[in-house]
Structure 1
Amino acid sequence: MLQSFMNVFTTLGDTVVVPIVIFIVALCLRVKARTALMSGLLVGVGLTGFGWIINAFTPVVTKIVRQMVSTTGINLPVVDTGWQTSALVSFHSTVGITFFIVGLILEIVLFLIGYTKVFFATNLWMNWGFMIWGTLAYFVTKNFWLSLGLSIFMMLYVLLTAEVQADRYSSYYKINNGTVGAAHNMENVVPAIILDPLWNLLHFDRVHLTPDALKEKLGILGEPTFIGGVLGIIIGILGNIRRLGTLDAWGQILGFGVKLAAVMTIFPLVAHLFGQAFKPLTDEITERYSKGDTKGLSEEENIKSKKRWFLAVDDGLGYGEPATIISGTILIPIVILLAFILPGNKTLPVVDLVSIPFMVESIIAVTHGNILKTIANAIVWFSLGLYMCSYIAPIYTHAVAQYGVALPAGAVLIASFNVMCRPLNGLIFLAWISGNPLWIGLTIIVYAAFQVFLRTRRQQIWMYLKKMSDRNIAPTSNSNMASEIKKQMIKS
């Protein structure tokens, strides 16, 4: 029965299934049929738009990245083949499809009983991010229940971090009571919070490197479209460094600049449409279930409201936001450089490099679009993640081979940078596959302590993160206003 259900899911695809699920969930929450239907349709339209752009852009950027790698002459044995392999394997394993049903039920129940403030079921496609770890664990241990338990534990841990950053995500990406909860988004919340005092000590909070600040200081030079074109040309040059004297090379360089400029221009438009799909839905749900108690409240009052909750949205919503895609694009050559210079690293990021904007969304939200802090956090965390990728790659390679995934020509081992470049997820995975009750128990105890802390200090945590992110806001508008007032006073 599970396999039949999954066949239906994979055949219809997320652009059909996710709108249907959102429509059904909305009706169950007593949302008007018209609102539910329009939200579901617009979500399908938005997901289709995201898919078109990413599918068109991915092969272009992948080709450039491969050329960048080939010009160095460095060969790393673990090749990144992309997250798609992980999703494929997850939906074809017994542990994976079992969790898909069990996990979905748990996500709904945990929300209804108030254990979590995040309703994750609306983003059910992203459950594969938990399913893959259980699938890998079963390959190692052959213990079905331990492997299923690991997938469930990964879900609980991700829901916790999703709730921690939910208010910041909703505020920064301007989606009312909406947040993300995918595994590849959430772990990066940890370094974003822990390392922030260090970046402030280094005065990174005073370096207002944000799209708005760039636009104000640089004019057209700070526009995402222009920045995309420049970054595209730079990456194109790096990929063609050995043949800059040829017309073909410059055709590719300038063509990639235009394509990246197009992505940075078009993606925010689709993201806005996607956000519009959720706004009437979340507005009606919030109004119905809050009984008007949160209407007209300030941001701080809204944070302190005990009736507030969040709807999980697709992370495609944030991909094309200017600070997100600028940070992600800048990090592509940086991550490749890290892979080459880190001693002992064996992983070569390739296909999943285009997914970096997805991976930094929560850092962007927590730092209020501070590009410098985002890049600094990513350098630290992705460096550790490359080592985790290298360590787990043999397990991943042999596990996915069971499901008929062929190795690329010349590759010894494969990995997914998006999936495995997560130090905490990797440590939890290694603790559980050890089978040692002490290590498994330790992960559960640490999670339980943080969950209790969140449940008893939720509003304080959200207020702290708000103050933390507000330090990154450029005081341009206020200073300009003060300057104008001063000028008027002098004239008088």
Structure 2
Amino acid sequence: MDSLFNIVQSILNMGASVMLPIIIFIVGMVFRVPVKKAIISGITVGIGMIGINLVINLLTTSVGPAAQAMVERFGLNLTIIDAGWPAVAAGTWAQPIAAVMIPVVLIVNLIMLALNKTKTLNIDIWNYWHISSVAATGFIVTKSFIFGIICGIAYTIFVQIMSDVTAPKVQEYYGLEGVALSTGSAQGYALLAMPVGWLIDKIPGINKLDVKPETIQKRFGIFGEPMIMGIIIGIFLGLLGGYDISGILQIGMTMGGVMFLMPRMVKILMEGLIPIQESAQKLLQGRYGDREIYLGMDAALATGSPAALATGLLMVPITLFLAVILPGNRVLPFGDLATIPFFAALVVPSRKGNILHSVLSLTVVMAVALLMATDYAPVLTEMAQGIVEFPKGAAEITNLDTGGNFSKWVFYKLSQLVASLL
């Protein structure tokens, strides 16, 4: 087990920019892509991921301090701290069951592909931690290794199904041909937000309000440009954080830069994926007729959309406001505020890019997410104990990515039920 754990950690420590080129090359060889083209595709995808990570880092290092400034300015005092996904991911990989889950996820995925029960080949190995976190939850709550593995397998099947179901809209709206977004956080939020969005679309008056980047640009000219939208949203966050004029303008320009650069980074990554996807389709059609295959990728690809980014950034102050007024909530949102655009990844396509409807849908879901994250805190605190340095003043930690994720919370409650019967 120690040897397997060390191997897994070595792979993960290389990071997505190294892992993805290797994986893309291997997948290319499987789908009979010429060696030269497979190498170029892998390197291109890796470079695209480096670019995406640079822009995401720019986003998080700007939104994080702004969120902290809002917390301090408005005197929020809640005892459970949202430590963010990195803390929970670290706590997850430290569990003995986590190392086992990588081969388990791959095997389940390949079996489902062979039996034609899924169209998605999930190559986003780094984000297998979402599945491992469910397995770790089952293990921690029930003390049963076997039950933890069962939870992980069941969640893998859920991820595959959600990837298949949401892929057509993802491809249509984002222009990501042959791609499915297989990130557990995006799927968990979409599971609640999509039906909520459907209901919102039935409300007279609201269903007529079409707030897309395209319609904003059509009606308001330059203010509908993605970079200008980013600047406006950044200025809004700076004002809420009580920044001085210099700070407000800096965060405004930074958000404008994020809005401008992210689509270009995603485009680079997609240039590398297209030859793999085309070869996969050609090979499968030769063997199975019209059968499709999707490459399961990180929800970070969705942040190339101005609507997804705008929705996520607008949800930052809304989430903080909900934390203050929501009865029963004990979570102080912080670490995962900058990752809310990822939560919006599958919501925005379901609302056809309507920012208003996406924000309304996520507002309802985020209220539920805060209560779930409050409930989930004891397990996530135990998971991270001794692995993660707790934020100052935190009695417990949780996060929005896992603790506020409806699909993961269901497995948490199921684990509690099984534990009570053992």
TM more than 0.5: yes
Contact 1:81–1:352 (CA<8 Å) still a contact in 2?
A: yes
Q: Give me the identity figure in percent.
A: 26
SS of residue paired to 1:435:
helix
1:50 positional shift = 1.4
Structure 1 residue 281, shift from structure 2 partner: 1.6
Pair member with larger Rg: 1
Give the aligned residue type for 2:384: V
Aligned to 2:106: 104
Aligned to 2:392: 409
State how far apart, in whole Å, the 2-side matches of 1:367 and 1:23 are. 35
What is the 5 A alignment of 1:249-264? 249-264=244-259
In 2, Cα distance between the equivalents of 1:348 and 1:124? 30
Q: In structure 2, the residue corresponding to 1:361 is in which secondary structure?
A: coil
Is residue 124–residue 297 contact of structure 2 (8 Å, CA) maintained in 1? Answer: yes
Quote how far apart the aligned CAs of 1:292 are. 11
Which 4+ stretches in 1 moved above 6 angstroms?
Answer: none
Length-normalised TM-score, structure 2: 0.94
The amino acid across from 1:377 in the alignment is: S
Q: Which stretch has the larger CA shift, 312-321 or 257-266?
A: 312-321
Once the two structures are superposed, the pairs formed by residues 360-399 of structure 1 within 5 Å of their partners are 360-399=344-383
For the 8 Å contact 2:88–2:380, the answer to whether it is kept is no
Kept after mapping to 2: 8 A contact 1:332/1:353: yes
* Structure 1 residue 293, shift from structure 2 partner: 9.8
Q: Distance in 2 between matches of 1:35 and 1:68?
A: 49
Q: How many Å separate the matches in 2 of 1:428 and 1:253?
A: 42
Whichever residue aligns with residue 111 of structure 2, its letter is V
User: What amino acid maps onto 1:230 in structure 2?
Assistant: I
Are residues 1:281 and 2:276 paired? yes
Checking the alignment, whether the CA contact within 8 Å between 1:228 and 1:260 is kept in structure 2 is yes
In structure 1, the partner of 2:315 is: 331
What amino acid maps onto 1:83 in structure 2? W
Identify which of structures 1 and 2 has the higher relative contact order when contacts are C-alpha pairs closer than 8 Å and 6+ apart.
2
CA shift, 1:437, in A, is 9.5
Q: Secondary structure of 2:116's match?
A: coil
Q: Residue 47 of structure 1 contacts residue 316 of structure 1 at CA under 8 Å; is this kept in 2?
A: no
Could you give the per-residue CA deviations for residues 349-383 of structure 1, whole angstroms, max 9, x where no partner exists? Answer: 11211111111110112221111111111011111
Say if 1:81 and 1:351, in contact at 8 Å, map to a contact too.
yes
Q: Number of residue pairs matched?
A: 419
Amino acid paired to 1:153: A
Return closer, same or farther for 1:434/1:332 CA change in 2, 3 Å cut-off. same
Partners of 2:369 and 2:406 within 8 A in 1: yes
Structure 2 CA distance, aligned partners of 1:189 and 1:238?
A: 28
Which SS does the other structure have where 2:76 is aligned? Answer: coil
User: In angstroms, what is the RMSD of aligned CA positions?
Assistant: 2.0
Aligned to 1:84: 86
| 8 Å contact from structure 1 (residues 18, 125) kept in 2 | no
Aligned to 2:302: 318
Classify the secondary structure of the residue corresponding to 1:419.
coil
Match of 2:73 among 50, 71, 74: 71
Q: Which runs of 5+ in 1 are unaligned?
A: 295-305, 441-492
Q: Which residue of 2 aligns with 1:428?
A: 411
Q: Please point out which of 116, 119, 122 is paired with 2:118.
A: 116
CA distance in 2, matches of 1:413, 1:13: 29
Matched, 1:199 2:218: no
* Residue in structure 2 matching 1:40, options 39, 42, 46: 42
Alignment match, 1:419? 402
Cα contact 2:25–2:42 (8 A) shared by 1:
yes
Secondary structure at the aligned position of 2:336 is classed as helix
- TM-score normalised by length of structure 1: 0.81
Residues 1:56 and 1:192: Cα distance change in structure 2 (over 3 Å): closer
Q: Secondary structure at the match of 2:94?
A: coil
Question: Contact 1:226 / 1:261 at 8 angstroms: preserved in 2?
Answer: yes
1:190 CA displacement: 2.5
CA distance in 2, matches of 1:433, 1:145: 15
Consecutive unaligned residues of structure 2, counting only runs of 5 or more, are none
Deviation, 1:34, is 2.5
One-letter identity of the residue aligned with 2:325: I
User: Contact conserved, 2:108 with 2:156, CA < 8 A, in 1?
Assistant: no
1:187 paired to 2:188: yes
Whole-Å Cα distance in 2 between the matches of residues 346 and 286 of structure 1? 49
Query: 1:430 corresponds to which letter in structure 2?
Result: K
Q: Report if the CA contact (8 A) 1:99-1:151 is conserved.
A: yes
